[in-house]
Amino acid sequence: MAKKKELTNVTDKLEQLEALQAIHSKIDEIRVLKGELPIEVADLEDEIAGLERRVEKIDHQVTEAQEDISSRKQGIKDANALITKYDKQLNNVKNNREFDALNKEIEMQKLEIQLHEKKIKEKDLAIENYKESAKENKDKLKDKKDVLKSKKKELDHIIEETEKEEKDLEKKAEKIASGIEDRLITAYNRIRHNYKNGLAVVHVQRDACGGCFGFVPAQTQSEIRTKRKLISCEHCGRILADVDDDVEV
């Protein structure tokens, strides 16, 4: 791989860094235009996925409860069939022991029926609650999907308008960066990522750093004007490219 041609003149380095900063600032403006939309869309998609899982779980709970009710209704039928059977057998008992045993079985089956009926009522109530919860979640799901559709439409419109410009700017930035020494690019990127406004290269304006507004001494400003060496703001570390002497007061 051929070694990239690096700039040696400080003035050229500063000009390239300023050009790179200008391009990155334009890219940042485009991303600000998108705002929080990409994050909002992703969050909404996560919420919708969560609601869908919740609705699916509730539907499964309803199915399980209905199956349990069906099973218990069959249990009641079976218990009633046994009671009828034992009632008939009572007519043919030969002693008190058999009579007591059959009556005990009948009582057991009646208790089974009572238990089944109690559980059926509980499951009926649970199903009502499940269905109410399912409706609430489905309503939320519909609202979230409507909002997501609107947010996606808005985001897609912005992307359609800015995607080509953003890609072109990114290519230009890569081209400029390829001519700047790695050490300097690393420092530039580190500074950019340290600040929300993404400014790594700034001018001195009204005796202050254009990034943090910290005071820049006159002697330092004189050194910056000569462009003989790279100078950073002693307060924020940003690269001070030049001094704007014609700033209106």
Write out the chain's pLDDT in tens, 249 residues: 444 444 458 999 999 999 999 999 999 988 887 878 888 999 999 999 999 999 999 999 999 999 999 999 999 999 999 999 999 999 888 899 999 999 999 999 999 999 999 999 999 999 999 999 999 999 999 999 999 999 999 888 888 888 889 899 999 999 999 999 999 999 999 999 999 899 999 999 999 999 999 999 999 999 999 999 999 999 999 999 999 886 443
- How many separate helices (H) and strands (E) can be counted in the chain? 5, 3
| CA 2 – CA 64 distance, rounded (Å) | 68
Q: Which of 124, 174, 130, 142 is nearest to 20 (CA)?
A: 174
Say whether 232 sits in a helix, a strand or coil.
Answer: strand
Q: Check residue 37 and give its pLDDT.
A: 87
Q: In what order do the strands lie in the sheet with 201-205?
A: 208-209, 201-205, 239-244
H/E segment holding residue 243: strand 239-244
Alpha-carbon span 155 to 13, nearest angstrom = 37
Instruction: Give the C-alpha separation, 114 to 110, whole Å.
Output: 6
